[in-house]
Chains A and B, each alone.
Chain A
Amino acid sequence: MNPGFLLAYLIDGLLIGFVYGIAAMGLTLIWGVMNVINLAHGPMIALGMFGVYLLYVNASINPYLALLIVGAIGLGGGFMIYWIAIHRVINAPHLSTLLATFAVNMIIVGLGTAIFSTSPYTMDFSLGSLRFGMVTIQGTRIVAALAAMLVTGGLYLFLYRTATGKYVRAVANNRAAAELMGIPSARILALSFGLGTLLAMVSGGLIATFFPFTILSGGTYELKSFVIGVLGGLGNPLGALAGGLILGLFEGIIPALVPNTWVPVFEFLLFVLILLVRPTGLFGAKR
């Protein structure tokens, strides 16, 4: 294997890892705050892809500007999903929330399939590429990684530097105690779900700038988000970013050693293994 190729693979993997990281951050935020495994995460990622695509193709809005609109839609959509589908079962056993979010998944995928069919879409968008010696990197991936870092920083500032962020952390820590302190916990839960959905849609929008996608692609990235979330510790947003980078590196290195189709095998084996050996993840979970 040519060392230049390997380096290119590694850098590509790392850059994509940032984007995976924010998708997983959404999942893990929802888990950490409300103890819900969100099975509607994948369709929201797919909606983010289609949102950016439609705004770019029909209104010729710059994809990165479109991300702001898509993110706002995600926040509102997450709010709505929480109040309609989750609020009633938030204290029920896990099966109820799993199935409630899966029902949302079915509804979105069903509507999406009826509208967009399941054929692949590609965004005709490029930012050129950078060359360093033998290594070529696509511009869209660099900007996507930068955007992901920006989003992470924003989330961090929100959680640790604002009063509302403090409420979110309080509810994640102990919902009953937070309520006794006068924090409107239901509204905070809705906000957290909205934020999680926002992160999913933004990551989907970023992925759409460099990979082809269908309405069903969300499922693949949802599974990746599970792997990353468990890797970094469910409920730990910064762990999710680190987990994303690890998975990205994995996806960069493994194809250099074995055929590409083995990548998911290793990913899922790693996933099960971490659940068994260290269910709190490599970087410590919320609880």
Chain B
Amino acid sequence: MKDQQQSSVALPLPAGRAAHALGVWRNPGLWLVLAVVGLAGAYPIITNQAAIREAIFTILLSIALASSLNILLGYTGYVSFGHVVFFGLGGYLGMYLLSSGVSLPVAVLAGGMIAGLLAFLLGSAILRLRGAYFALATIGINEAMRTFISNFGPFGGPTGISLNFAVYKPYGGAAQALWLTYYSLLILTLVAIVLSFQIKHSKFGLGLRAIREDEDAAEVMGVVTPRAKTWAYVLSAIIPGMAGVLFFFKNGNIEPLDAFRLHFSIELLVMVMLGGQGTVLGPVLGAAGYQQLRGFLLTNPTFKDYQLVLAGALLLLIVLFIPAGAIGWLRSRFPRLRRVLP
């Protein structure tokens, strides 16, 4: 992709790490994204409306997951089709711990850790595969995990784990617990965006993008590619693992088919593509846009039955005609916008 190549060349190289870290926080683009997401996230809190909160919850979840996926997909150029495996596994471990009396923060951390650990173990093995072989392996891992958990007794087998109402008591009852999950997810989403931004504008991120453009050349130029790829994989797995715990805690139960839904994985890819892979703002915009569109199609009486058809047609048009996504297109069309659209 030529425009992405140009943008990585135009990136100012930082002199030192500390000065660089400050420079990142001075970037107006980051504040723009954080302000928009923060305001949208604060809206249901201010107006105290549960219905809007549910809609925004779905969007925030998508933003957090799509931004994480983007670290691997957009920056490193590895197509993970089974990224939902981290969401599901994190969710499962979290639910297991919650149902045996562990508190929510600990469960969330454990969910993130197990996802990161799985990515670390898998990463050193499957990241050797390139292109479509890697994509196939991620599908295989997700399906293997799903079918294994369906047979795994401690996690409830095919029926999964349901939380007892007593679990919500320490958080002030179920209604209060829903708000608590919402706040936590909002914070997690903001962290995901900052992480995505920090990685993109770090030396590590530059190495990842070198791998994306030409892995062999990157290796020659001194990027330790196996290590860089594994860490990109781990970093893109932790937040989905934590978000999984929050999502299923709110849901109250978890089943193998919900936790490891391959379709959700592909929806995440669509979101990243829609907004623009390899950009910080892209996954945010793509996730919000996709969920809005999906909500509209699902509730509209004319389109209800054809929701999937229309979404498919839209995806096809984007892939064929705007492969860089909305933000990528804007960045290549109006180079001046690059400063404010990270």
Contact = CB atoms under 8 A, between A and B. Distances in A.
Interface of A: 31, 35, 37, 84-85, 88-89, 92-96, 98-100, 102-107, 109-111, 113-114, 223, 226-227, 230, 259, 261-262, 264-265, 268-269, 271-272, 275-276, 279
Interface string B299-327: 00000011111111101100110010000
Contacts of A272: 126, 137, 140-141, 144
A94 B131 CA distance: 6
B320 A264 contact: no
A103 B126 contact: no
Given A105-B312, A110-B308, A113-B308, A92 B132 contact: no
A223 B139 contact: yes
B156 to A, nearest CB: 14
Interface in B269-304: 269-270, 273, 277
Nearest to B148: A265
Contacts of B139: 223, 226
A98 B132 contact: yes
Nearest to B277: A95
A85 B140 contact: no
Interface of B: 1, 73, 77, 79, 81, 125-126, 128-129, 131-133, 135-137, 139-141, 143-144, 147-148, 150-151, 158, 266, 269-270, 273, 277, 305-313, 315-316, 319-320, 323
Contacts of B305: 113-114
A99 B315 CA distance: 8
A280 B218 CA distance: 25
Nearest to A222: B139
Contacts of A261: 147, 150-151, 158
B319 A103 contact: yes
Majority DSSP secondary structure for residues of B touching A: helix
Contacts of A88: 320
Nearest to B269: A99
A98 B138 CA distance: 14
Majority DSSP secondary structure for residues of A touching B: helix
B307 A110 contact: yes
Given A99-B315, A276-B129, 13 more contacts: A89-B319, A95-B273, A98-B79, A98-B132, A98-B135, A99-B319, A100-B320, A113-B308, A227-B140, A272-B141, A276-B126, A276-B128, A276-B137
A110 B320 contact: no
B129 A104 contact: no
Contact of A230 (B131, B136, B158, B306): B136
Contacts of B128: 276
Contact of B309 (A114, A227, A264): A114
Interface centre among B126, B136, B139, B277 (most CB of A within 10 A): B136
Contacts, number: 120
Contacts of B136: 37, 226, 230, 271, 275
A275 B315 contact: no
Nearest to B125: A276
A103 B312 contact: yes
Contacts of B143: 223, 264, 268
Contacts of B81: 98
B137 A103 contact: no
Contacts of B277: 95
B313 A103 contact: yes
Interface centre among A31, A111, A114, A275 (most CB of B within 10 A): A275
B315 A102 contact: yes
A113 B311 CA distance: 14
Contacts of B79: 94-95, 98
A53 B209 CA distance: 50
B309 A279 contact: no
27 contacts: A88-B320, A89-B320, A92-B323, A93-B1, A95-B79, A95-B273, A96-B319, A102-B266, A103-B312, A103-B316, A103-B319, A104-B316, A105-B312, A106-B308, A106-B315, A110-B310, A110-B312, A226-B140, A230-B136, A262-B147, A265-B144, A271-B140, A271-B144, A272-B126, A275-B136, A275-B137, A275-B140
Nearest to B150: A261
Contacts of A110: 306-312
A265 B147 contact: yes
Contacts of A226: 136, 139-140
A74 B137 CA distance: 28
A106 B266 CA distance: 11
A271 to B, nearest CB: 4
